[in-house]
Amino acid sequence: MYINKNLSVHVKDRLDYCDDLVIRTFPELKIEVLYFGHLVGEEELKNNILQPFSNTNEEEVKIILRRKQYQQEEDINLMVKGVLEGKALIIYQNSLAYVVDIYVPKTRSVTPAEIETVIVGSKEAFIEDIGTNLSMIRRRVKSDCLKVLSYNIGTITQTKMYLLYIEGITSPILVKGLQEKIKNIDIKGVNDLNQVIQYLDKKPLSVFPQYFTTERPDVSASKLFEGRVLCLMDGSPYSLSTPTNFFEFFQSPDDYNQRWLLGTLSRLLRFAALFITLFASAFYVAVSMFHYEIIPVKLLHEYIQSRSKVPFNPVIEALIIECIIELLREAGARLPSKIGQTIGIVGGIVIGTAAVEAGFTSSVLIIVVSISAISSFVVPHIIMTASLRITRFFFIILSSIFGFFGIIVGFTIIMIHLCRLKNLGEYYLKPISPIFLMDIKDTIVRAPYQFFKK
C-alpha cells in the first residue's frame, strides 16, 4: 500500500487504540516521530531522534535524513511493521517516511543453564532474545560459512526465526527440507520453539521426541559442526537441531569435556539407565506375576515376606507407586526450587517408609521404582526422560498381561517404531540401525579424540 498524502493519519489509523504508542512532534521541522516507548532504548532514542532533530533547522533536516541509519520507507505495511518491531517511524512533511532501528529488547541477561547442567564446561544458556542467542553462536563459530536465514512464523505473532547452517558441512537437502517444513507451518501464533517442534513432527503420535532442543549454546554450536541445521526463535531460550537421532538425547557436553574414559563410562551408564528405567518396574511385575522361578533363594524369603502384607495385585501396586512418583515429580517441578527439594525428601523418605510399614507396598517395589525413577533422570535431556517415563507405563501394563513375553512384545513394537522413524530423510536410530561402524565410537562410547575421523 503506497500512500503519499496524509501519511501520519493513515499510520495513526492503523495503530488506533494503541495507547502505548508514543508520538513526538517537531512542528517547526514538520516532523512526527512514532515509536513504542518500551521497545526502544533510551540511548538510541537520544542519539538518533532527539539530538539530531532538536538543534536543527528546516534546511538541515533533509541532510540529516539522508544519513545511513534513516531508511526511507514507502509501504505503509512495512512502516507499521517497523514500529511494531521497535523501530521509530519518522514522518517528514506528512508524506515521506523514514524508519530508524532503535530497538533494544528488555530481556534478562545471560544466566547459567538450569536444566542441562554440566560439571565441566561452559555455563551459559540461551535467553529469550534471539539476537543475543545468535551472538552466542556466532561467537563460537567465527566462520563466514555460518549462514543464517531469517523467517517469520505465526500470522499474528510474526515471530522471528533464524535457520542456521554451515555451508560445506550441512547437506543442502536438509536445509531445503527444513525450510519447506517451516514455511508450511500454518498457525496464528507461537510462544516457544518447543511448540514449533510439535508442528514439525512427522509422526505426531509417537512418544519419542523427533527434534532435538537444547538450551546450551555450546551444544548447539557442536550440532552445527556435525552437519545439522539449527533453528533459533525469538522469545525462546532454546535451539532446535535436526536431523535428530535417538542417541543425541543421551549425550552431554560433560562426555566431551572430561577424559574419554570417564566420558565413555558415563555414557554406558546412561544406556544402562535407559534399560533400567524402561524395564525395572515391568520386570518386577513380570516376576511377581509370572516368572517366580527366577528369584534366587536368598532373595526369595525376604521378598515373599514383604509381599505377603500387600493387599494389591503386583501390577496395581506398581502403578500406584509409579503414579506417586510422578505426582512427586510434577509437584517438585511446579514449586519453587527450594520447596521442590523438600517435596522430594518428604515424598521419597516419608511416604516410601510409611507405605512399606503400612503394608501398602512391598519394600522391594519401593527400591525398584525409585531406582527406575532415578535412572530416568540420568538421561540428560528432559524431553527424552518424559518419553521414557510414559513408555515405562506401557511396559508395566504389558508385563502384567503376558510376563516377559509382554515385555518383549512391547519392546519389539517400540524397536520397529524407532526403526521406522525418520527425520528429514535420516533414520532416527542412525549409527546403530542403519549401522555406521565409524559413528559408533561417538554414540555408545566416547572414544579418544585421536580416534575420531579427521
Partner 1 sequence: MSRILLIILILLVLPGCRDQKIVEELGFIHTIGYELIEEGENSGKLEVTISLPVAETLKQQTITTVVETSKESRIFLSKKTDKNLVSGQVRSILIGEKLAEKGVWDLIDTFYRDPVSRPTVKLSIVKSNPKQLLSKDYPEYKMVDTVIENLLKKEARLNTIPEMDIHKFAKDYLDDAIDPIAPIILQSEDGIMSDGIGLFSGDQLKTTIPAIQARIFFLLTGEFKEGDLLIKNEEEKVLFSFLTNKRSIDVTLGDKEEIDAKLSIDFKGFLLEYQGNKDITNEKEIEALENYIQENIENQIRDILETMKEHQIDNLGLGKYLKQKMDYQTWKNLDWPKTIDRVNVTPSVTVKIIDTGMVK
Partner 2 sequence: MQTEKFKPFYLFFITYMTQTGIVLFMLPNMIANYFGYNGWLMIIPISVFAMIQIGLIAGIYYFNKGSSIFQTIETSFSKVNIIAKPLYLCLSIFWSVLSITVAKQYVHVMKFLYFPQTNIQWFVLLTLILTYYLVTSGIVTIAHVSTLFFFLSAPMIFLLIYFVPDFSFLQFSTFVFNEHNDFYGGMIELYTAFLGFEVTLFLFPYIKKEKKVFKYVFLGHLYTTLLYLSVTIFCYGFNSFQQLNYQVYPVINLLQYIEFDFIERLDSVFFILFYLKLLITITMYIWISLVTFKRVVKWSVQRSAFVLLVVGYLVTLPFVTKNELTSLLSLLAKVQILISIFLPLLVLTIIFLKRRRKHV
Residue 429 binds which entry of partner 1, partner 2, none, with Cβ cut-offs from 5 to 8 Å by kind?
Answer: partner 2
Q: Which does 289 bind (CB under 5 to 8 A by kind): partner 1, partner 2, none?
A: partner 1
Stretch of 68-76, 224-232, 385-393, 403-411 contacting partner 2, by CB under 8 A: 403-411
Smallest distance, Å, CB 452 to partner 2? Answer: 22
Span near partner 1 by CB under 8 A; candidates 73-81, 257-265, 288-296, 433-441: 288-296
Of the listed pieces 15-23, 149-157, 312-320, 429-437, which binds partner 2 according to CB under 8 A?
429-437
Name which position in 297, 336, 337, 449 contacts partner 1 (CB under 8 A). Answer: 297
Write each residue from 387 to 416 as x if it is in contact with partner 1 (CB under 8 A), else as -, in one continuous string.
-----------x-xxxx-------------
155 binds partner 2 (CB under 8 A): no
Q: How far is the CB of 436 from partner 2 (least distance, A)?
A: 10
Q: Total number of residues binding partner 2 (CB under 8 A)?
A: 27
The yes or no reply on residue 295 touching partner 2 (CB under 8 A) is yes
Q: Which stretch binds partner 2 (CB under 8 A): 30-38, 77-85, 290-298, 355-363?
A: 290-298
Kindly tell me which residue out of 51, 54, 191, 313 binds partner 1, with binding defined by CB under 8 A: 313
Q: Does 304 bind partner 1 (CB under 8 A)?
A: yes
* Polymer length of the chain: 454
Does 432 participate in binding partner 2 (rule CB under 8 A)?
yes
Nearer to partner 2, 64 or 409 (CB): 409
Binding residue for partner 2, selected from 110, 181, 405, 441, defined by CB under 8 A: 405
Check binding of 51 to partner 1 (CB under 8 A): no
Q: Applying CB under 8 A, which of residues 209, 314, 380, 431 lies at the interface with partner 1?
A: 314
Residue 416 sits in the site that holds partner 2 (CB under 8 A): yes
SS (H, E, C) the chain: CECCCCHHHHHHHHCCCCCCEEEEEEHHHCEEEEEECCCECHHHHHHHHHHHHHCCCHHHHHHHHCCCCCEEECEHHHHHHHHHCCEEEEEECCCEEEEEECECCCCCCCCECCCCCCCCCCCECCCCCHHHHHHHHHHHCCCCCEEEEEEEECCCCCEEEEEEEEECCECHHHHHHHHHHHHHCCCCCCCCHHHHHHHHCCCCCCCCCCCEEECCHHHHHHHHHCCCEEEEECCCCCEEEECCCHHHHHCCHHHHHCCHHHHHHHHHHHHHHHHHHHHHHHHHHHHHHCCHHHCCHHHHHHHHHHHHCCCCCHHHHHHHHHHHHHHHHHHHHHCCHHHHHHHHHHHHHHHHHHHHHCCCCCHHHHHHHHHHHHHHHHCCCHHHHHHHHHHHHHHHHHHHHHCHHHHHHHHHHHHHHHHHCEECCEECCCCECCECHHHHCCCCCCCCHHHCCC
**CB-nearer residue toward partner 1: 169 or 295:** 295
Nearer of residues 169 and 429 to partner 2, judged by Cβ = 429
Note whether 6 binds partner 1 by CB under 8 A. no
Contact 270, 378 (CB under 8 A): yes
The footprint of partner 2 (CB under 8 A) covers 290-291, 293-296, 298-299, 402-405, 407-409, 412-413, 415-416, 419-420, 427, 429, 432-435
